[in-house]
Amino acid sequence: MLPAKTPLEASGFKALLSNRPFLFLWTGQVLSQIADKVLLVMSIALLTTYNIPERYTASSSSYLMVASTIPAILFGAAAGIFVDRYPKKKIMVIADVTRGSLILLLAILPKEFIFLILITFAISTVTQAFAPAEQSAIPLVVKPENLLTANALFTSSTMGSIIVGFAIGEPILTAVTNISKNGSREVLVALLYFVAAGLGQLVKVQEKIDPNQHPHRINPWHELKVGFDYLRSNKIVLNAMLQLAVLFSTIAALPVLSIKLTAEVGLKPEQFGFLVAPLGIGLVLGAGILGHFGNRLNQKSLPLIGFIGMGIVLAIFTFINNLLLGVFCAGILGLGASLIAVPMQTLIQERTPESMRGKVFGFQNNAVNIAVAVPLVVAGPLTEMFGLQPVLWGMSIIVAVAGILAWSSTRYVLEEAIQNESE
């Protein structure tokens, strides 16, 4: 039985900031996330220094993106098998050290395009094990009553690292290149991963891995079937995972659609970031509010509010021709997204037994990656075929319907999960 909460433990973020294992885990996550984004900026910049066959020159950045995306689709679910078998802390540390080492290889290998593609593929493959291990580790270092706040903080830092990583990526890489042109960029990004690994090593995790629950030999197909059967029998977890997939699919489509929206609000296509950045800020703000006041919102059907709010904003976007209104609506869209992402992630963690978390989060990672990839492929062509407004209306209806279905299937369980924050 957990001890009664002290006033400090009951005060949201303060409870987490006094939890040293969580602080090490969270800080390491922030550094890894920033390293991921700076790595992407660096990889695109490296294309100008590599020998690229002429037939690949025009689409070199696309090939780079494909090399980064394919492992997420192929290995996302399978990675969860290893996460359930081995200590999460060890997996995260090894993943960070491996990614850092692979980046250092770029500094010494010949500047051939094939090596950049192979290293990118390898780094993305290793990342597939890191993601479910990290999500599985959060409940191991945080008490159940603080889990919603912890996920709010992780969501905030994830979105914040996207903004910070892309913002500082080019300037900081340029600065180190001016100091030294020989591998300095690779060393910098690798160092971020190595520091994250050091912080991960400091995390004290009390983890129980029962060898009797796993056969000595790994049978991937059998273990994937076990994970799938668990999801099929646990409708609450499966529904929450599907909601996250719908959410991330919607968010992934917005950068593509925002390029078209720029013309409506008087911006150039390359200035689409003015509409995307407020979405991230809104999500960070919403996650922060949930983390601090989540225990007072136990009577609210948060996913319903989030989905319906996002649906309304998407519909409003069809009428927007003013930049300030567009920025405001993008922020509200991010705020609504936080009301879905944080509670649903908390719900999955609470309702999944420790022995199954790796497989479940592996499936989640796979589903989200596929959900993100689909709109990147179809949003542009659909907009060309039907126009921007019909696509936005279609997304608005889909998101609103998803909200109603989410509310009808998970509201009681979700309210119980959030109620734990105040008990």
pLDDT, tens only, 387-417: 888 888 988 898 888 778 767 766 655 555 4
Q: Which of 11-15, 193-197, 319-323 has the lowest mean pLDDT?
A: 11-15
DSSP strand E in 27-173: where? none
CA dist 155 and 140 (Å) reads 18
Looking up tokens 């494909």 gives 66
Predicted confidence band at 11 (pLDDT cuts at 50, 70, 90)? Answer: very low
pLDDT value at position 214?
52
Predicted confidence band at 241 (pLDDT cuts at 50, 70, 90)? Answer: confident
CA dist 410 and 392 (Å) reads 27
3-class SS shares of the chain: helix, strand, coil, % to 5:
85, 0, 15
- Looking at every residue in the chain, the average pLDDT score rounds to 78
pLDDT value at position 10?
44
CA dist 42 and 237 (Å) reads 37
CA dist 320 and 343 (Å) reads 30
Predicted confidence band at 8 (pLDDT cuts at 50, 70, 90)? Answer: very low
pLDDT value at position 353?
81
Predicted confidence band at 2 (pLDDT cuts at 50, 70, 90)? Answer: very low
Which of 163-167, 286-290, 309-313, 380-384 has the highest mean predicted lDDT (pLDDT)? 309-313
Residue predicted with more confidence, 373 or 1: 373
Looking up tokens 């936005």 gives 392
CA dist 417 and 144 (Å) reads 9
Distance of CA 186 to the CA centre of its chain: 24
CA dist 331 and 325 (Å) reads 10
3-state secondary structure of 210: coil
Residue predicted with more confidence, 237 or 92: 92
**pLDDT per residue as tens digits for the range 48-75:** 888 888 877 767 777 887 888 788 778 7
3-state secondary structure of 112: strand
Nearest CA-CA partner of 285 in 339, 329, 241, 326? 339
Please say whether the beta carbons of 307 and 392 come within 8 A.
no
The pLDDT > 90 percentage for the chain reads 9
pLDDT value at position 1?
33
pTM here? 0.72
Residue predicted with more confidence, 359 or 224: 359
Bridge partner residues of 112 (DSSP) = 51
